[in-house]
Amino acid sequence: MPFMIVLFALGIEFSPAHAVVTGPILAATPALASLTMGPRGILTAAAGACAVTVYSLTVHHTWGAQGYSNLLSLLMVSVASMTVGNAMRTRRQTELDQVRRVAEAAQRVLVRGVPARLGPARLASIYLAAETGAQIGGDLYEATQTRYGVRVIMGDVRGKGLSAVRLAAAVLGAFREAAHYEEDLLEVVNHCAAALERERAAPTALSRSDEEDPAEDFVTAVVAQVTDAFEVQVVNRGHPPPLVVRHGKVGALVPTMDLPPLGLDEFMAVSPAEVENHPFAPGDRLLLYTDGVVEARSPDGAFFSLHEAVEAVHPCSPTEFLECLHLELIRHNGGHLADDAAMLLVERLDEEAGQTAASGAVQA
């Protein structure tokens, strides 16, 4: 905008309307530049305005009290913009950096990276924010070692913003507590659902706008447990089905019973939910993900084929596996995500290999 004003004033000087005084208009350019630019941009805008003003006064022989007054006004506005405007800009940047540091700390507490090894399993996780600079959102995941086995959760909160973060924190907190004390995996899920209900009913300063109904808040989630019996137990509450990679082939663990997301228990079927057991042999990999992965679109509108992308990944470590999927996802959507995306990979280890690795870790 400041440079457009300079060009506009210069056009007036070369037009038949050159009698119009452009000095007062040009005096505003440094102030406008200070809103979005740094010192270099302010000086450039001020220099352009000064050059047009001097040209006008010289060509039209209008040097005098009015001319010197226009130059003095331009000088005063430029100095004020360089001092006050730049100081305000620096202050805003400092506040923004502080907010980002707080968000990063909250992200590490809410959705922390999973350990590389838990019991008989190797793990890796990745979180992709939809917006540049975003550090926290409604996607959630966790993995923990319990006396019942390795338990993991992957979920996605409906909506965005602070209300989604609040609900994600409630579900994760309930899972981290119940996973260690409840033997039945269904009871762990029920604790997460109860925590969500309490958080929805609690008044909070971080609540949504008046137009949004708290009753519409829900969380899709899948909870899994890797047992010593070479199987994986799964409870799916309205979440995209996990994928199992076995000998290079990919299969989906589609639930036999459709269960509603957490927070929509009133739509639960009359028959009680059950834990579903699936074979999970050494070398098998379990991939949990949010809908931001499978709903990612290419520039021409095509959805991302996660099955094909997983089958195309060559044998590698869990971390490298997710990195390959990340690169393929970014390549597919042209580097722009419409929604947050998270992935969690669990690889079942052979018991003998697991004991050897554990002994090595103890000796180290």
Q: Higher model confidence: residue 18 or residue 32?
A: 32
What pLDDT, on the 0 to 100 scale, is given for residue 96? Answer: 79
Domain boundary among 102, 130, 151: 102
How far apart CA 291 and CA 304 sit, in angstroms, is 11
41 with 146, same domain?
no
User: Which residue type does 74 have?
Assistant: L
What pLDDT, on the 0 to 100 scale, is given for residue 362? Answer: 35
Domain boundary among 45, 70, 102: 102
CA distances from 240 to 6, 169, 213, 338, 358 (A): 56, 21, 25, 17, 33
116 with 94, same domain?
no
Helix/strand/coil for 244: strand
CA distances from 145 to 223, 279, 295, 316 (A): 14, 20, 31, 23
- Quote the DSSP letter at residue 194: H
Helix/strand/coil for 300: coil
In the chain, how many domains are there? 2
> Cβ of 4: how many Cβ atoms within 10 Å?
10
327 with 283, same domain?
yes
Domain boundary among 61, 84, 102: 102
Q: Higher model confidence: residue 267 or residue 295?
A: 295
129 with 246, same domain?
yes
How far apart CA 165 and CA 154 sit, in angstroms, is 14
174 with 194, same domain?
yes
18 with 126, same domain?
no
- Comparing C-alpha atoms, which of 250, 251, 341 is closest to residue 296? 341
161 with 286, same domain?
yes
Which of these ranges, 234-248, 270-284, 315-329, 347-361, has the smallest mean pLDDT? Answer: 347-361
Residue 33 pLDDT > 70, yes or no? yes
What pLDDT, on the 0 to 100 scale, is given for residue 81? Answer: 73
**CATH code assigned at 136:** 3.60.40.10
What pLDDT, on the 0 to 100 scale, is given for residue 207? Answer: 47
65 with 210, same domain?
no
163 with 284, same domain?
yes
Q: Which domain holds residue 168?
A: 111-363
Beta bridge partners of 127: 342
Query: Tens digits of per-residue pLDDT, 263-289?
Result: 887 777 656 778 999 999 999 999 999
How far apart CA 213 and CA 209 sit, in angstroms, is 9
Residue 185 pLDDT > 80, yes or no? yes
> Using an 8 Å Cβ cutoff, are 226 and 114 in contact?
no
Query: Tens digits of per-residue pLDDT, 211-243?
Result: 455 556 889 999 999 988 899 999 999 999 999
What pLDDT, on the 0 to 100 scale, is given for residue 205? Answer: 44
